[in-house]
Structure 1
């Protein structure tokens, strides 16, 4: 049968036709409350960048529509062609549909105050342990005060922030296909590929191997 896909707030039009009744769907974050009120019979997943439920595909925004399109290409024509299209578009191949609409890394960077230099330091030295005590010392704070202040300002614990930075760097390296899985794990501070795999599953919902350029 035919497939139907929507981009951004176009999912509201699909919902109005009844096509989404009893199905999972997403929409742009700014329309989520409106969507939930108007269509309670739809299982809205407001934090996903795209959702596939049977023949129905919905995406959260214009750029998320690219991720949806790449997923469709991969499903119909294979991963290799989808990766080639992504490279032509100069975009990551590919963000998992369950990935959040909001980047915690962007939120960390936009947080005003004292921790941006520390985050830059972590990015430049991902292979280091970056224990709370080490980070607190770099920030010239006591470990307890640092951990509390960091979470208030960034919304993340120091350990979770470091993990996200490592996953971001590892994902970019794997997309390039230039280095081995073990080298990526070592240089990004995971230590071994199994720890990297667990972090990818936890944060992105996919294993590192799914992002390897082919």
Structure 2
């Protein structure tokens, strides 16, 4: 991504497909993070969700359609996933789609869509920042992207800032006390680990910005899993 080339519908589709592949390859690590205080199936559930999204992409051509149409379709596909993660990701994708509503995908529109996605998750999950959830990666990423865009007007620079916000936010969950979800019932067991939901958000950013280079992401999340093994 560069300052002169905002993402297109095709770029978003390619990201969704790439994220589905990345989740499949990192499922074991995400499940391991979740096993500290949850069901140990976060990675598996994310894989199922994004396979549903990819199946929808395979059924329908979005080549000549608006980005928000693609995001709405992805939201509908993900909504059918069991547990809490389906509604959370579906809400994020749908809120982002509503925010775009025919706008060009410049930095300002993307910043608002990212913020709306985080707020959609917060509303559905009745959670806030510092509750040790995926919001602790969503909000810092959105805030960092917006701050960089407002200061420099460069999409590549803003995307890199968003990625750093997501990684730092995920890492910070190691020392947070879980206040929402199953982990809140096993808060002592969750200590020292990156929250699995925050880790998957950071993986989404990593895939968008770095492609297949996941070393920064693995460094962020794997050390916490290994320290609790």
TM-score strictly above 0.5: no
Q: TM-score, normalised by structure 2?
A: 0.28
Structure with more relative contact order (C-alpha pairs < 8 Å, separation 6 or more): 2
The structure that is helix-richer by fraction is: 2
The structure that is strand-richer by fraction is: 1
